[in-house]
Amino acid sequence: MKSRILSVLCLLALLATAEAAGANVVGRLVDYRVGETVFKGFLAEDTALKTKRPAVLVVHEWWGHDEYVRRRAVMLAELGYVALAVDMYGDGKTARYPDEAEKLAGTVLKNRQVTEERFNAALAVLKQQPLVDPARIAAVGYCFGGTVVLQMARSGSDLKGAASFHGSLATDTPALPGEVRANLLVLGGDRDTLVPPAQVQAFLDEMTLAGASFRYIAYQGAKHGFTNPESDNYARKFGLPLAYDRRADFNSWTELRKFLHEIFKKAE
């Protein structure tokens, strides 16, 4: 009960922060369904902008849909996009321990149909928003979320772009030639032991053979989870090979901003 109260208080603080941001950004909870399961997303947008604009799906880390992914949605809304932080686990589930996170992530990543159904349900919700241009949508993912957006790109999802931050690059279903329709931006760390060099090279070879439009950047000295300030706490608490890297966080966000501007400009 105590953790749920704290979670609600954090969300209220986030909503207040969104409304007080430089732009007229507001955030609200959005429920949607896949079968009988309710999923809890978070939509952020600048209500001062009245014309349709590009939109971005934001997929959470393996810890689940938390304040971090909502903050990223707010940051994207401050740039003028409509952003939907999705819920890939259902009912807004989050994990407190690594074994819980691994189990929740596994229920999604080990079943391609589940991944696609849950991602596409959120995509449909985003497309229905009054301020969204449904022809200009991208997806951004962190850690587990980065794996998800790359998986959707491999399957030929109709996205203008997909950006992965410190996500796994491994796959059991490599992209076929001509199958990847989205432009890809993949951002990793050269000290990320969870994404070793052999996995990176296999991904680069896969995308080259598939004829995909992609860019891969490895930040020097950065470990897994380099964009999330909580990574240091997770590392200390659970002995995980994670670390926040302020410079890599800033530089990778700058790359994302340029990437989104370019792909949406081309799609006008």
The 10 Å CB-count burial string (b at 16+, else e) for 73-92 is bbbbbbbbbbbbbbbbbbeb
CATH classification of the domain holding 121: 3.40.50.1820
Residue 210 dihedral angles phi and psi, to the nearest 5°: -80, -10
| Confidence (pLDDT) at 10 | 45
Q: How far apart are CA 148 and CA 152, in angstroms?
A: 6
pTM of the entire predicted model: 0.91
- Alpha helices per DSSP H over 20-92: 67-78
Per the CB < 8 A criterion, the answer to whether 142 and 188 are in contact is no
| Confidence (pLDDT) at 2 | 40
Q: Is the dihedral of CA 261, 265, 266, 267 positive or negative?
A: positive
DSSP 3-state of 44:
strand
| Confidence (pLDDT) at 266 | 84
Range of the domain at 235: 2-266
Q: How far apart are CA 37 and CA 34, in angstroms?
A: 5
Domain total of the chain: 1
Strand 53-59 and strand 82-85: the pairing is parallel
pLDDT in 10s for each residue of the chain, 268 residues:
443 444 433 444 444 444 444 469 999 999 999 999 999 999 999 989 889 999 999 999 999 999 999 999 999 999 999 999 999 999 999 999 999 999 999 999 999 999 999 999 999 999 999 999 999 999 999 999 999 999 999 999 999 999 999 999 999 999 999 999 999 999 999 999 999 999 999 999 999 999 999 999 999 999 999 999 999 999 999 999 999 999 999 999 999 999 999 999 987 7
- Alpha helices per DSSP H over 20-64: none
Strand locations in the chain, DSSP E?
25-34, 37-46, 53-59, 82-85, 132-142, 161-165, 183-189, 214-219
